[in-house]
Amino acid sequence: MRSDASVRLDVGFGMHYTPMPKERQQIGAAEMVEVTKRESGDGYRFEAISADASRLYTYRADLVEVIDGDTFWVDIDYGFRMGGQQKLRLRAIDTPELSASAGVRVREAVVEMLAPVSFVVLATSRTDKYDRYLADVFCLAGATTADEVLEHGVYLNQRLLDEGLAGKWRFINYEL
């Protein structure tokens, strides 16, 4: 049995949060906890979740910049008044470099695809050799919640493959 003082939440991106006593009461003995910002904006809600790890390291993020067809800067609210920008690389795909005209066209297509969305949802847990987080990115125009995007949205990595804008990464030796 762990003591309350030893409870630390892994919020991803190498950061941890030690809950306040009132927050620890909400968490209880749960091994996994989903944390969501309250609609009122005054704090966070904690909810114990099942041992299904499929939603771990899943975040709502604002798109800051499309660097090229498979690399982005996003602004993420990690919760607990913590946030920051992260550089993402779409997992398991590769798009042409900007030095080629095809790369410029793919970047423009991705900018157009993401223009109508107010946020994206991403799932990630590790970096590549350039310290970019490898991500699966989901989007849906008009969505108001991350759950809505995950349930009804477009899986951007797959869409780029389906439309011939990206190829599968040839040297995949990782799994998320």
Query: Where in 38-132 does DSSP place strands (E)?
Result: 44-48, 58-68, 71-79, 82-90, 93-94, 120-127
Query: Could you tell me if 49 and 87 lie in one domain?
Result: no
Across 120-148, average pLDDT: 93
Q: Domain for residue 173, yes or no?
A: no
> Quick one: which of 72, 87, 70, 101 has its CA closest to 169?
70
Query: Hey, what are 173's tokens?
Result: 């030796």
Query: Where in the chain does DSSP place strands (E)?
Result: 9-12, 15-17, 33-37, 44-48, 58-68, 71-79, 82-90, 93-94, 120-127, 133-139, 154-155, 167-168
Across 158-169, average pLDDT: 95
pLDDT band at 51, cuts 50/70/90?
A: low
Based on its alpha-carbon atoms, the radius of gyration of the chain, rounded to whole angstroms, reads 18
Apex CA 85: angle with CA 42 and CA 12, to 5°?
A: 70
Query: Could you tell me if 29 and 81 lie in one domain?
Result: no
For the entire predicted model, the pTM comes to 0.83
Query: Residues 110-130, buried b or exposed e (16+ Cβ, 10 A)?
Result: beebbeebebbbbbbbebeee
Q: Is the pLDDT of residue 145 over 70?
A: yes
pLDDT band at 83, cuts 50/70/90?
A: confident
Query: Could you tell me if 121 and 156 lie in one domain?
Result: yes
Beta-strand pair 82-90/44-48: unpaired
Query: Could you tell me if 130 and 149 lie in one domain?
Result: yes
Residue 120, beta-bridge partner list = 61, 139
Find the farthest-apart pair of alpha carbons in the chain and give their distance in angstroms, rounded. 59
Query: Could you tell me if 120 and 49 lie in one domain?
Result: no
Q: Domain for residue 110, yes or no?
A: yes
Residue 10: per-residue pLDDT: 84
Across 23-42, average pLDDT: 79
Query: Could you tell me if 96 and 157 lie in one domain?
Result: yes
**How high does pLDDT run on average in the chain?**
86
Task: Give the whole-number percent of the chain exceeding pLDDT 90.
Answer: 53
Q: Domain for residue 100, yes or no?
A: yes
Name the domain count of the chain.
2
Domain boundaries, position 148: 58-168
| CB distance 2 to 19 below 8 Å | no
Residue 2: per-residue pLDDT: 45
Query: Could you tell me if 48 and 63 lie in one domain?
Result: no
Q: What is the CATH number of the domain that holds 130?
A: 2.40.50.90
pLDDT band at 33, cuts 50/70/90?
A: confident
